[in-house]
Structure 1
Amino acid sequence: MKAITSLAAYRARSMKGNVHPKIILGGPLVLLLILTGSLWQTGCLAPGPPAEKITVGSILSRISGLLYVAQDQGYFKAQGLDVDIKTYASSPESLKDLKAGHIDLACCGIFNLVKEALAGGSNLRALTVLCNGQIMDLIASRDRGIREPADLRGKAIGLMKDSAAEYFLGVFLTLHHLTLQEVRIVAVKPFALGEALATGEVDAVVAWEPYIGEIVKKMGNAVVTWPSQEGQDIFWVMAGRREYLKSHFATMEKLLLALEQASKFIKEHPAEAKKIMSRRATFLPADWDKYPVRYDLFLDQGLLLHMEDEAAWLIHNRPTDRKELPNFMDYLDPEPLLKVNPRAVRLALPGSVSPY
């Protein structure tokens, strides 16, 4: 059959029944696809800009849930971001790499930023709180004669040094009429807490999930547990170097937008969010309700007051030349969050919000 070279010829042939009306649609469509492919290969029709890569350091825990949900649901990708979540055993380790420039951002307890501020010269800033809640327990061995908090006197307590576990243990002891000087603190890595308690290396430990569940499951009725935070929240924040946050302001906006979407998803689909988190961080189903965590982005006066409490405790209990509290507003960067969600920033801002 000869090729159809004009619309008139097509009409004439189709009226004779030799050409199906739908066949003609294939020609222009195929031509368009071929032309588009040629333009793409020659660079005349260029692809969109590549996703901006960000490396975020965090421990493997449910408190990093916003990161896991945002990644799983494609919220980072939708903002043009390629977020690599690098796992660390502890906050001090991730902050070490952050200060060295090996990663772009780090998730950590606010206690770690307070310690940096007291040490002086820190250029780290908290971008937002990622979650807050009650996640720590003090777990003691009944075999060592511990039945109530008063029995901790003279005992060895294992915990992750340079972490919020130190502060919350100190508060717990004070509320139960004990002092840090009346117990012996032993530095133990988080993943080794259960083994240290089981073997008798220590008499008690301060742990968080998922380690709490692992210890209780292994030792059962041989241990007694108490909430070590005594009603005070831990604040889990995302932090970055001052110069990085300043030079990547638009990127931080996109990141926070993605995390805001993740926060909304967790509230609207808690069962699905639990499944997403459980694929990344091991935790017992019962821990979800026993250790409630609120996944909200914010910076507020309550956070500042908590930072001042931790700093006052550190000044009193740790060797330091610092006798006055720093201005912790200097260690927050509220501008990106203020742009994304003004209601999430509840600070008494003096004039300009810029910490620079």
Structure 2
Amino acid sequence: MRQKHIKNKNRFFILSTGSRPVRAAVAALSIAALAAARQPAFPQGPAAAPAKKPVELVIGIREFLSDLPAMIAAADGLYEREGVNVRTLIKPQGKDNEPLMLDGTLDLAVVGSHIGLNVLFKAGKDNPFVILACLGGGGRRWRLMASERSGISSLEGLQNKRLGIWPSSYGYHLLERHLAGKGIRYSPVRIPMKPELAVEFLEKGKVDALLAWEPIPALLEDRKLAHEIFNLEGMGAGVPVYLAARKDVVRKNPAGVAGVLRTLYRATTFVRENPEQAVRRAAATLRLPPRVLKKALRNHQFQLGLTCAQRRSLAEAARLFGEMKHNKVPADVPIEFDTEPLRTFLEKRGPGPAAPFEENCPPMK
């Protein structure tokens, strides 16, 4: 299917399929609203004025709450303030950036474990990607919600029930393994990723419970349709969100990559320290009430860094995917972390909150 690019004055693009112009238009208006209401994340002096225009970098993000800092970075012009030339492509809810990473469109992308591993595997030696940093995540953002009409109050109550899931997601694989260990059998039902459609599945009785990330659980609670019976906190090292980059881009444009890291550090710090403002910004983009997003935001961790646990999480995800017959990611997929850009940035960061960073990690078995 062909893709459609919609541009606004902030060099912030919405990608959608050509057969869905209405969705693209709505998304474009949402991003425009985000930009129109913007308040600089970090008030500063004049933007940097390099002698010549830097090489453009293209970063791909998703219309997910976990990518909010990157949305704000683009809408507020924070990249320009750091002297880097960045164009942001955002995929609508339910879509991912894997095709654009593999065809060379994207230089960098925000990814979860599943898409990150898929790209590392499929890109291979011809167009290799590396993981530069973790942007946060948190297991509490993955919540198992039971319908208020289901009578389910614990994991054991899922026995022989219909469970709404995203089959390829790392979060589901973690839960699947956990339930199998308890001998709990259920009927998996694929649900949409778009919040309103996922909620509709449960509201219409198509599933008895569902596993989803925020803000879907918060939206279900707000409408008094479901309650939490479990979350993935403590599993999968917090189910991280990563920043990936093409290896040749890191090598050829270290200054640009450093500027992206500086910008995302500012943006994640802003979201963490100014949740009320962040909620107002997210409401325009994600088309959800601020009260819902305020609750959802409490279950997210936004912080640029890279720890041994976060690195190990990706290796553990690869092994887990390799065990699952319905997933094509091999357990031994090569995973390469390039820590030099992040280490260099943190050494020169100057004032600001500390960022978790561990470089001398034990070998990943």
Give the TM-score normalised by structure 1: 0.71
Please list the CA deviations of residues 245-282 of structure 1 after superposition, one character each: whole Å capped at 9, or x if unmatched. 33222210111112222234345544434433444334
Tell me if structure 2 keeps the 8 A contact 1:136–1:209: yes
Amino acid at match of 1:200: G
Selected match of 2:260 from 255, 258, 276? 255
Aligned equivalents of 2:162 and 2:121: distance in 1? Answer: 27
Query: Shift of the alpha carbon at 1:135?
Result: 0.8
Aligned equivalents of 2:328 and 2:68: distance in 1? Answer: 37
Selected match of 1:188 from 188, 191, 199? 191
2:270 paired with 1:265 = yes
Aligned equivalents of 1:263 and 1:54: distance in 2? Answer: 20
Tell me if structure 1 keeps the 8 A contact 2:113–2:240: yes
Match of 1:37 in 2: none
Aligned equivalents of 1:94 and 1:321: distance in 2? Answer: 18
Match of 1:339 in 2: 344
2:49 paired with 1:67 = no
Match of 1:110 in 2: 113
Tell me if structure 1 keeps the 8 A contact 2:57–2:256: no
Amino acid at match of 1:69: I
SS at structure 1 position matched to 2:303: coil
SS at structure 1 position matched to 2:149: helix
Aligned equivalents of 2:325 and 2:95: distance in 1? Answer: 17
Query: Shift of the alpha carbon at 1:334?
Result: 1.4
Match of 2:165 in 1: 159
Amino acid at match of 1:128: A
C-alpha spacing 1:89/1:321, structure 2 compared with 1 (3 Å): closer
2:104 paired with 1:101 = yes
Match of 1:121 in 2: 124
2:285 paired with 1:280 = yes
C-alpha spacing 1:305/1:59, structure 2 compared with 1 (3 Å): same
Alignment map for 1:117-266 (pairs within 5 Å): 117=120, 121=124, 123-133=128-138, 134-174=140-180, 177-179=182-184, 182-191=185-194, 192-218=197-223, 220=224, 222-232=225-235, 233-266=238-271
List structure 1 runs of 4+ shifted beyond 6 angstroms: 320-323
Match of 1:86 in 2: 89
Aligned equivalents of 1:323 and 1:272: distance in 2? Answer: 42
Aligned equivalents of 1:62 and 1:322: distance in 2? Answer: 26
Please list the CA deviations of residues 278-318 of structure 1 after superposition, one character each: whole Å capped at 9, or x if unmatched. 44334643654564333222122111222232223222233
Highest Rg: 1 or 2?
Answer: 1
C-alpha spacing 1:249/1:168, structure 2 compared with 1 (3 Å): same
Aligned equivalents of 1:172 and 1:349: distance in 2? Answer: 27
Aligned equivalents of 2:216 and 2:190: distance in 1? Answer: 16
Amino acid at match of 1:209: E
Query: Shift of the alpha carbon at 1:98?
Result: 1.2
Query: Shift of the alpha carbon at 1:94?
Result: 1.0
Aligned equivalents of 2:94 and 2:346: distance in 1? Answer: 27
Instruction: Determine what percentage of the aligned residue pairs are the same residue.
Output: 19
Give the TM-score normalised by structure 2: 0.70
SS at structure 1 position matched to 2:229: strand
Aligned equivalents of 1:307 and 1:208: distance in 2? Answer: 18
Please list the CA deviations of residues 178-207 of structure 1 after superposition, one character each: whole Å capped at 9, or x if unmatched. 35xx22222222112112222222222111
SS at structure 2 position matched to 1:292: coil
SS at structure 2 position matched to 1:49: coil
Query: Shift of the alpha carbon at 1:348?
Result: 1.9
What is the aligned residue count? 298
Structure 1 window deviating more from structure 2 (294-303 vs 87-96): it is 87-96
Match of 1:348 in 2: 360
Aligned equivalents of 1:273 and 1:204: distance in 2? Answer: 29
Query: Shift of the alpha carbon at 1:225?
Result: 1.8
Amino acid at match of 1:258: T
Amino acid at match of 2:321: L
SS at structure 1 position matched to 2:152: coil
Tell me if structure 1 keeps the 8 A contact 2:318–2:329: no
Tell me if structure 2 keeps the 8 A contact 1:156–1:183: yes
Aligned equivalents of 2:92 and 2:239: distance in 1? Answer: 18
SS at structure 2 position matched to 1:214: helix
Selected match of 1:308 from 283, 292, 315? 315
More helix as a share of residues: 1
Query: Shift of the alpha carbon at 1:346?
Result: 0.8
C-alpha spacing 1:65/1:319, structure 2 compared with 1 (3 Å): closer
